[in-house]
Structure formats: structure tokens, C-alpha cells
A and B are shown apart, each in its own frame.
Chain A
Amino acid sequence: MNGVHDMGGMQGYGPVIVEENEPLFHHAWEPRALAIVLAMGAAGKWNIDWSRSVRESLPPAMYLSVDYYQIWFEALERLLLQTDLVRPEEIHSEKALVPPVEGVRKLLKENVAATLSKGGPTERETDTVARFSIGQQVRTRKMNPPTHTRLPHYCRDKQGVITAIHGAHVYPDANALRQGEQPKWLYTVSFDAQELWGPDTTASSVRVDCWEPYLMAAEQ
């Protein structure tokens, strides 16, 4: 989706504001929001790509104006409603009005450490062969899907070179749409900064992780 979340190369946002001795959290609600997002993420009712897709589909003005933890919170509320885990009237009344949905994996305190240290690896076995090899010139596709993708707009239809192959990974474009994991080969592609920006850059190269469907062999 060509949304405001896809910020690479946008101009006019001003300097990076670095806070001296920044606290881990700025408001008391931030750790609570983080914790419920993580706990519900472990509940197994949605995947990380779906949740990213909901976050980037928030109203653009809201996305740009609220604290990042609030983006997570707003998306959590929408995910809970989309999955029928909570009803709108329950959010308004702040208490359970109908029985809970079954099959929610409740993250218990004793499992927190193990769940976090396991994480959610995305590499998968595959019986396919990688189409591209290290050193090969590739071109990213010209594409503008209205749904979730992880190919930023600034590096579409650009030529680069494969610098690493990471195995087959869950394909976010499909997984976000609940079409299954559909693992695809994942590559690091190095783009010459001039190829991306022309002369208006101070970077030498930009490296982007690209799934195979984002790429085609470059015309020599």
C-alpha cells in the first residue's frame, strides 16, 4: 500500500530530534500498551504481517501525529474487532458482555521468557531453488499493490545487485492477507544510491531485503 508509513526519501519532516538520556517510556500508558500488544500477538489470532498491515492502514493524519505506541494500540483495537475477539460495545462499556472466543492462546507469566526467547522465526524449509545468485544484477518490479507489501516505493523499478541470500522466508504480501505463509526466497539487494536518487543523496548504497516475487533478472 502506498501509505504514509512508507517514508523512505520523503522530505520536510525536519531534523532528527535526539533526546538526551531518553527514558525507556515517556508515559505510564506506553508500557501497558506494549504489554497488551505483545500478549495478544502471542495469542495466535493474527500474524505480524497482518498486524503491520493494520497499522499502516490507520488514517494517515493519525499515523503521522500520534506516539508510536499509540499506532500499535490503535491497530490492536482494530485487530481485536476484526477477529471478533471483542465487540464494539465491549470497548465502549470496558467489560466483557459476551463469552470469550475459544482458541485464544493465553500467554501466562511462566511462559513469557520462553515465548520471547523463541520469538517468531520466519525462515522455512523449501523444495524450490533460488532463482538469483550472489553478484547477479536484478531489477525490482514496478508495482503498486493496494495491500501490504515490504518493497518500499523508493526502490521499485530500480536496478541493484544481490549481495546475500537468506533462505526462504514467510512472504508478507500473502501472509498479511491470511493466504498462508507461502515462503519465498529472500535476498539482500544493494542499490547504488545514485540509481535511487540521482545526485541528491549523501548515501553510497542502500541495501534492502527483497523477496523473490519483488525481483526480476536485469536486462544487461
Chain B
Amino acid sequence: MSDTSHTHSSHGHHHEHDHDHEGSELSDIDLRVRALESLLIDKGYVDPAALDALIETYETKVGPRNGVRVVAKAWHDPGYKKWLLEDATAAIASLGYSGRQGEHMVVVANTPEEHNMVVCTLCSCYPWPVLGLPPAWYKSAPYRSRTVIDPRGVLKDFGIELPPETKITVWDSTAEIRYLVLPMRPAGTEGWAEDALAELITRNAMIGCDIARPPAQFAAVTGAR
């Protein structure tokens, strides 16, 4: 992937750099990461091939399509939905998704009365096995600060406005329990196959920052292709 032998020994590295402007900061961190990677390989602590395998895992294998499969199956199969809401860790593992940052899963279902949103105010806890790595906004100060006090305001930033009578429950991921939102299945999708339902599910809907796309909008989008 990247050239790990690339080092800049003339460049002094210390902890609290003064960053004069953003350009130097970006190149500085780039050099420091390369240098530390080289050092850890030189010390024999890391296997370079393992680093590439870790990156490849999250680039190609573990991402929101896993969560989409979970939600589509729950919409399609009432028995699976019941299991998912009772024992999410086992129900999700049955589809082959488990492990790091998803060891203990809870799925919360949106209804017309209650909308669920997930945040980690203290860091960036996120259900990796089903959603992959968190997007930058999920880890950002605006999202982490506002979601627990003003979730409707946050939803507006995503272009979502819920009916005023819908109550919003916010889940702050303070422990190792990871939360996945089961969005409401759009009306007009009765009898749809699981694969077709999957097309309506967005990553953000599984965090509670979006709603599943209505079929009309989906038809318009696919018709335009």
C-alpha cells in the first residue's frame, strides 16, 4: 500500500508541535505516521502484511452493507425481527457479523411514536461489524455535543424533519454495548423481496439520522438511472 521505508530523519518529531498553517500539519502527520509504522516494524512488533489485511478488512469486507442485510432480513422475516430485538448479538452473528466493536449488540426499533438515535458523547463508539468505520461527522464535536440535547436540530442538519408528536430517544454508547437502529419499513413495500428492501436502507438510517427511503423516491431514483 504505502511506502513504509519512507522516512525523514532530518525532520524533528516531538509531541506538541506548533502548527503554523494547515498544510504543514497535514504533511507532518503523514510523515509521523509513516515513521512510527517503520519503527514498529523495525522493532518487530507489527507484521506489515497484517496492517494491509486490517485495512483491507474495513475497505472491502466490513461496512454498512452488513447492517443493511440485517435490517432487510428483519423487515422481511418477522421471526428474525423478533430474535433481533430480543438477542441482537446472536441474531446478527447468525449472518456472520460479529467481533470487534460489536461484541454486545442491541437493536432498537423505530416506530411512528418513537424515533431512536445513537451517539457516543465521550468518544466514537460505533457498531463496526454491521456499519464499518464511523463517518467523520459521527466523531465530530457538533454531533457528539448536540445529539443528546437537541436531536431534532441535528436531524435538520441531515434534512430530516419528524412529526412533532414523535418522541426521540437518544442512546449514548457509554459502555461496550453497541446500538443499531432498525428503521421503519416504508409503506407500500408489502411483498417486496429482501434484496429490493435492502435498496431502501441507508447507513445513516441505521444510526437514526435518516429514515428509510420511501419506495416512490426509490423508483424515481432507479428510473432515472
* Chain A residues at the B interface, C-beta cutoff of 8 Å: 5-11, 13-19, 22, 24, 26-29, 31-36, 38-40, 43, 52, 55-56, 59, 62, 64, 66-68, 70, 73-74, 76-78, 80, 85-86, 90-96, 100, 104, 106-109, 111-113, 115-123, 150-152, 154-155, 164, 166, 169-170, 172, 186, 188, 190, 193, 196-197, 200-211
Q: Which of A6, A39, A80, A200 has the most CB of B within 10 A?
A: A39
Tell me, yes or no, whether B213 is within 8 Å of chain A by CB: no
Residues of chain A lying within 8 A (CB to CB) of residue B132: 24
| Complex contact B100–A120 (CB within 8 A) | yes
Residues of chain B lying within 8 A (CB to CB) of residue A62: 16
Residues of chain A lying within 8 A (CB to CB) of residue B16: 59, 62
Residues of chain A lying within 8 A (CB to CB) of residue B141: 7, 10, 13, 64
Residues of chain A lying within 8 A (CB to CB) of residue B2: 28-29, 32
Residues of chain A lying within 8 A (CB to CB) of residue B143: 16
| Complex contact B140–A203 (CB within 8 A) | no
Tell me, yes or no, whether B151 is within 8 Å of chain A by CB: yes
| Complex contact A73–B33 (CB within 8 A) | yes
Question: Which of B25, B57, B144, B177 contacts A113 (CB under 8 A)?
Answer: B57
Closest to B25 in A: A66
Residues of chain B lying within 8 A (CB to CB) of residue A29: 2, 29-30, 33-34
Known contacts A40-B40, A107-B50, A123-B104; A31 and B34 CB within 8 A of each other:
no
A–B Cβ pairs within 8 angstroms, 24 of them: A5-B122, A8-B121, A9-B148, A15-B142, A15-B157, A16-B142, A22-B136, A27-B26, A29-B2, A32-B34, A33-B33, A36-B37, A56-B123, A86-B43, A100-B43, A106-B47, A109-B50, A112-B54, A120-B176, A152-B174, A197-B149, A203-B150, A207-B171, A211-B175
Tell me, yes or no, whether B42 is within 8 Å of chain A by CB: yes
Closest to A65 in B: B19
Question: Which of B40, B42, B106, B157 contacts A18 (CB under 8 A)?
Answer: B157
Write the nearest CB–CB distance from A37 to chain B, whole angstroms.
9
Q: Please list the 9 inter-chain residue pairs (A to B) with the smallest Cβ-Cβ separation, ordered nearest first.
A: A8-B121, A204-B167, A209-B175, A202-B152, A119-B99, A109-B49, A35-B51, A117-B99, A10-B145
| Complex contact A36–B46 (CB within 8 A) | yes
| Complex contact B175–A166 (CB within 8 A) | yes
Stretch of B7-15, B68-76, B77-85, B188-196 lying at the A interface: B7-15
| Complex contact B58–A16 (CB within 8 A) | no
Residues of chain B lying within 8 A (CB to CB) of residue A152: 121-122, 172, 174
Question: Which of B12, B26, B47, B145 contacts A11 (CB under 8 A)?
Answer: B145
Taken residue by residue from 27 to 57, chain B's Cβ proximity to chain A (1 for < 8 Å, 0 otherwise) reads as: 0011011111111101111110111111101
* Chain B residues at the A interface, C-beta cutoff of 8 Å: 1-2, 7-9, 12-16, 25-26, 29-30, 32-40, 42-47, 49-55, 57-59, 62-63, 98-104, 106, 114, 119, 121-124, 132-133, 135-137, 139-146, 148-154, 157-158, 167-177
Write the nearest CB–CB distance from A141 to chain B, whole angstroms.
14
Residues of chain B lying within 8 A (CB to CB) of residue A17: 137, 140, 142, 157
Cα of A164 to Cα of B175 in the assembled complex, Å: 13
Cα of A169 to Cα of B103 in the assembled complex, Å: 12
Known contacts A17-B140, A204-B168; A39 and B54 CB within 8 A of each other:
yes
| Complex contact A32–B39 (CB within 8 A) | no
| Complex contact B43–A85 (CB within 8 A) | yes
Residues of chain B lying within 8 A (CB to CB) of residue A94: 7-9, 13, 35-36, 38-39
Residues of chain A lying within 8 A (CB to CB) of residue B9: 93-94
| Complex contact B177–A166 (CB within 8 A) | yes
| Complex contact A8–B45 (CB within 8 A) | no
Write the nearest CB–CB distance from A94 to chain B, whole angstroms.
4
Residues of chain B lying within 8 A (CB to CB) of residue A28: 2, 30
| Complex contact B122–A36 (CB within 8 A) | no
